[in-house]
Chain A
Amino acid sequence: MSANPVAPPKPDWARLVGDSIKQNGVWHTYGKLVEARRVYPDDLSLRGYVEIVRNVIVREFLAHPRGMQAVPKLTAEFLTNFDRFNLSAQEGYLVSLIDGRLDIQKLMILSPFDPFSTLFILAKLQQERAITVPQ
């Protein structure tokens, strides 16, 4: 007789996510939450915590003094060693638009992705040091 898989007890996401952000930062927390979503695919509040962390990441990216007018540039490391960067198709597409002249606002207009996703991908590229957004 096969037993139905028992869903693991629901963790206290608020406490876990709050502690993780303080101790490990938003990117590490985001990675852990994406893993957790595979274990708890039906947990609506978990999806909410993923979105909160994504929002914090994008807000921090936009906290640049020039905001949407900041101009991202590809890093020297990326240009000389881009094999090291394991880019997704979406990331690769956005990288192809970065020419050192287009600001974030224009990249959002040219991007085929929704505005939030475009900003999130740019933030991820910055986190991975594929791009830099000079002051």
Chain B
Amino acid sequence: MTSLAVELLDKLPSAIAVVTDAGRIEYRNSAFAATFGNDANSWLKEAARAVAGESGWLQTFFLDDEEPRTIDVEIEGRVYRIDKLMKAGEGGTAAVALSFDDVTRQREMEQAKSDFTAQIVHDLRGPLSGIQGTLEFVLSQEGTRLDAMYTDLLQEAQRESERMMGLINELLDFSKIQSGNFVVEKETVRVAGLLKRAVRSLQSVAARDEIFLLSAHGRDVPQIIGSVEKLTQAIINLISNSLKFTPKKGLISVGAQIVREGDMPEAIVITVTDTGMGIKAQELQQIFEKYKQSGNKSLRGGGGTGLGLYIVKQIIEAHGGDLSVASLEGVGTSMVLRLPVRKTAA
């Protein structure tokens, strides 16, 4: 390496090392030496053992030289983010340049932020549940003669409180995802019944907005293993999204098809399809990212957190499934999710 290159590498704040596939450090810059000292070789081996056995951790950096890789390694109470910068050589003479950044503080901050969000969201849910209960009680009193105007206002308050609860729940799920605490239960899910209930729960909203909301599946949809609550949440979220962007006299269908391997069901493909305004081609690739919202304006008013589809995707992926989208601007959109059929709980 030229002296100029060494000088440049030594001035970088990140710890950088060139490591062979045998785990030997061929080069280390000043920041690396300052961080890990002379004992770096044993540190590296210890880190590798801590993550994936004797050499598994290190070997992942040698698997595919085109693929960028990042691994967070916790060792001796500190967390290091290790990035693969480049790889050279083949076989027994291959080496990779790795950067090591201490992200312990960053991790602590992320955890603190996540805990704070979870606490705030939890504190907001309590009083809001009280408001919802009160509104429901007042509106359900048949003997009470409320002026039609007050009834309308109370119903509006009820709708808005439901919307607010939805937003709070999205934030709570997001906070769980961020902190790694998002787990799905393993129970038997009767998919046909789940879809039917999801459609039924939004039928009155669809009727109010003069939209046809139709089931498009038979009763012979196989059961899967997963979380009834989370999958219901995902389907309701997708239908609710369709309701926001479908004009009057439009149509939303909720279908399920069975993918078979020979005679055995291998997966279920669920579709939520609308004749709404569609999504621009350039926005399609990003709609499952957090905080991304369609450039289209909702026809029913009310914004969102931009987390809904991101959470749906996390739910589907937590079930080992995939989520995809098809859309034609001015024609409609279809959300397509594929869930594997497993015979037993994992």
| Pick from B214, B253, B325, B331: contact of A18, CB under 8 Å | B331
Interchain CB contact under 8 A, A14 and B328: yes
Min distance, Cβ B224 to any Cβ of chain A, angstroms: 17
Residues of A contacting B: mostly: helix
**Interfacial residues of chain B within 183-218, with CB under 8 A of chain A in the complex:** 212, 214-218
Residue in A46, A47, A48, A62 whose beta carbon sits within 8 Å of that of B251 in the complex: A62
Instruction: Return the contact of B215 from the options A48, A63, A114 (Cβ within 8 A).
Output: A114
Q: Any chain B CB within 8 A of the CB of A110?
A: no
A45 CA to B325 CA, complexed, in Å: 6
| Minimum CB–CB distance for A53 against chain B, Å | 8
B interface, how many residues as a size bin? 35 or more
How many A-B residue pairs lie within 8 Å, measured between CB atoms? 100
Question: Given the known A-B contacts A44-B338, A58-B253, are A52 and B215 also in contact in the complex, defined by CB atoms under 8 Å?
Answer: no
Q: Which of B155-163, B269-277, B287-295 is found at the contact surface with chain A?
A: B269-277
Q: Does B327 contact A (CB under 8 A)?
A: yes
- SS of B interface (majority): strand
- Assembly CA distance A58 to B254 (angstroms): 13
Measured in the bound complex, the distance between the Cα atoms of B328 and A119 in whole Å is 22
Q: Tell me which of A18, A21, A49 contacts B334 (CB under 8 A).
A: A49
Measured between alpha carbons, how far is A17 from B257 in the docked complex, in Å? Answer: 21
Residue B340 at the A interface, CB < 8 A? no
Cβ B271 vs Cβ A62 within 8 A: no
In the complex the two chains form, is B336's CB within 8 Å of A56's CB?
Answer: no
Within 8 A of B (CB), among A12-60: 13-14, 17-18, 21, 41, 44-49, 51-52, 54-56, 58-59
Contact assessment for A47 and B336 in the assembled complex, using a CB-CB cutoff below 8 Å: yes
Do A18 and B328 contact each other (CB < 8 Å), given the known contacts A48-B336, A56-B275?
yes
Q: Are B275 and A59 in contact (CB under 8 A)?
A: yes
Give the CA-CA distance A52 to B328 in the complex, in Å. 8
A122 to chain B, nearest CB (A): 13
Question: Within residues 290 to 341 of chain B, which ones have a CB less than 8 A from any CB in chain A?
Answer: 322, 324-329, 331-338
Report the minimal beta-carbon distance from B192 to chain A, rounded to whole angstroms: 10
Mark contacts of A96-113 with chain B using CB atoms, 8 A cut-off: 1 yes-contact digit, 0 otherwise: 000000000000000001
Question: Is B281 an interface position by the 8 A CB rule?
Answer: yes
Residues of B within 8 A of A117 (CB): 216
The answer to whether B325 touches A48, judged by C-beta atoms less than 8 angstroms apart, is yes
Task: Report chain B residues within 8 Å CB of A46.
Answer: 326
Question: Does A116 have its Cβ within 8 Å of any Cβ on chain B?
Answer: yes
**Residues of chain B lying within 8 A (CB to CB) of residue A92:** none
Known: A115-B214, A116-B216. A51 touches B253 (CB 8 A): yes
Q: Is the CB of A116 within 8 A of B327?
A: no
Q: Cβ of A63 and Cβ of B253 under 8 Å apart?
A: no
Q: Is the CB of A45 within 8 A of B324?
A: yes
On whether the beta carbons of B275 and A44 are closer than 8 Å, the reply is no
Q: Does B343 contact A (CB under 8 A)?
A: no
In-complex Cβ contact of A63 among B249, B271, B336 (8 A): B249
Q: How far is the CB of A118 from chain B (nearest CB, A)?
A: 9
Query: Shortest Cβ distance from B103 into chain A, in angstroms?
Result: 35
What is the bound-complex CA distance between A17 and B278, given in angstroms? 13
Q: How many Å from the CB of B126 to the closest CB on chain A?
A: 40
Whole-angstrom distance between the Cβ of A113 and the nearest chain B Cβ: 7
A91, chain B: closest CB distance, angstroms: 16
Q: List A residues at the B interface (Cβ < 8 Å).
A: 13-14, 17-18, 21, 41, 44-49, 51-52, 54-56, 58-59, 62-63, 113-117, 119
10 CB-based A-B contacts, threshold 8 Å: A14-B326, A44-B324, A48-B326, A49-B328, A62-B249, A113-B218, A114-B215, A114-B218, A115-B215, A116-B214
Apart from A51-B253, A56-B275, 19 more pairs, CB < 8 Å: A13-B326, A14-B327, A17-B328, A18-B331, A21-B331, A45-B325, A47-B271, A47-B336, A48-B334, A51-B326, A52-B275, A52-B331, A54-B253, A55-B275, A56-B332, A58-B214, A58-B253, A114-B217, A114-B218
